[in-house]
Amino acid sequence: DPIYVITPTYRRPEQLPELTRMAQTLLLVRAAHWLVIEDAKEPSKQIAQLLERSGLRFEHLTAAMPEQYKKKRGAKPKGVAQRNRALQWLRANATAGVFYFADDDNTYDVAIFDEVRITDGWEAVREAVLWRVERRSSVSVQIRSTKRVSMFPVGLCTKFGLSTPVVSSAGAFVGFYDGWIGGRKFPVDMAGFAVSVKFLHMRPKATMPYAPGFEEDGFLRSLAPFEPKEIELKADNCTKVMVWHTQTKANAPSPPLDMAKYNQTNLAVLKT
Ligand code: UGA
Ligand code: MN
């Protein structure tokens, strides 16, 4: 069954490198089906080309952030329109499998999707290099096997270092660890959970709210009835970090750059 990887994305100088990196990660994932949803009115040609060239199974969709939020100062509900567009696509087109909200700038270890198979000598070497040997024991405990909602740690590049369910040594869920709990029922990162398509079909009203900081919590609450104690714990009982919430530092010149000009400049450099 497919793993639907839902990636909102918007136009900026880092966009193509981010999506290139992500595409190459997803090429290592069996039956990955990439839903790329642009925050734009029209799909861009560059992204269409990138997707075509990747060889991945994909859908290229668009959903612009509503004007009222775009104009707002301060925190914006980033990626919400796009993720809801993807949920709409899944409801219309998917029957089985698992979906995962994977922002374009994070860092994903392919081991979060499922076990790595050792088929020959080269693979064995590669696996040793990547410290995957111990992960062989985690066959079918990764997100591909999600029955309803699974969760796992997300590495943060902050003082808190981590956002994760807390699991007792006996393997039971006991709570959440996050730098900011904020009164949330599910204080988790967007990259820290996966949901089965069948469960989505059982929750026709599930949706992500336009609530900065509360997108994850709002979406997970909208899956009610569903309680934290029902969470399926992945990544070896939440003992391993296999995804990091990273950000690419923009290297753009100021004042704010004009994308059309930026692309032209790059082309001009290539031509000389
Ligand atoms: C954090 C969360 O991990 C996001 O999932 C959440 O949507 C966001 O905060 C929030 O609370 O608003 P952060 O790294 O701060 O993420 O956000 P970005 O990575 O900048 O954006 C999240 C996703 O939305 C990315 O895939 C990005 O490409 C996309 N995005 C961002 C848009 O589609 N439009 C925008 O205007 C900004
Ligand atoms: Mn991000």
pLDDT at 82: 98
Query: From ligand 1's centre to the CA of 63, what distance in Å?
Result: 14
Strands laid side by side in the 162-167 sheet: 107-108, 243-245, 154-156, 162-167, 173-177
Residue 123 has pLDDT above 70, yes or no: no
Question: Using CB atoms within 10 A of its CB, is residue 57 exposed (0-12), middle (13-18) or buried (19+)?
Answer: middle
pTM: 0.88
Residue 216 catalytic?
yes
Mean pLDDT, rounded, for 20-33: 93
Whose C-alpha lies nearest to ligand 1, atom 3? 190
- Report the nearest-CA residue for atom 35 of ligand 1: 78
Ligand 1 atom with the shortest distance to the CA of 213: 11
Per residue in 62-108, pLDDT (tens digit) is 999 999 999 999 999 999 999 999 999 999 999 999 999 999 999 99
Name the DSSP letter for residue 150: E
**CA–centroid distance, residue 166 to ligand 1 (Å):** 25
pLDDT digits (tens, 9 = 90+) for 245-271: 999 987 766 666 677 676 666 666 666
Question: Is 206 in contact with 196 (CB distance < 8 Å)?
Answer: no
What is the predicted pLDDT for the residue at 135? Answer: 47
Percent of all residues in the chain with a pLDDT value above 90, rounded to a whole number: 71
The mean pLDDT value of the chain amounts to 88
Task: Please tell me the distance from the alpha carbon of residue 115 to that of residue 139, in angstroms, as a whole number.
Answer: 5
- Report the atom number in ligand 1 closest to the C-alpha of 37: 33
Rounded Cα gap, residues 156 and 124, in angstroms: 30
- Locate the ligand 1 atom nearest the alpha carbon of residue 80 and give its number: 7
Mutate to test the pocket of ligand 1, among 60, 101, 103 (most ligand atoms within 8 A of CB): 103
Q: Is 105 annotated as a binding residue?
A: yes
Residue among 150, 159, 197 nearest 178 (CA) = 159
Among residues 59, 216, 230, 232, the one annotated as catalytic is: 216
Distance 155 CA to ligand 2 centre (A): 12
Residue nearest to atom 28 of ligand 1 (CA): 9
Q: What is the average per-residue pLDDT within 150-164? A: 92
pLDDT interval class at 119 (50, 70, 90): very low
Quote the ligand 2 centre to 186 CA distance (angstroms). 19
Say yes or no to pLDDT of 116 above 60: no
Pick from 78, 82, 219 the residue to mutate for probing ligand 1's pocket: most ligand atoms within 8 Å of its CB.
78
DSSP state of 8: E
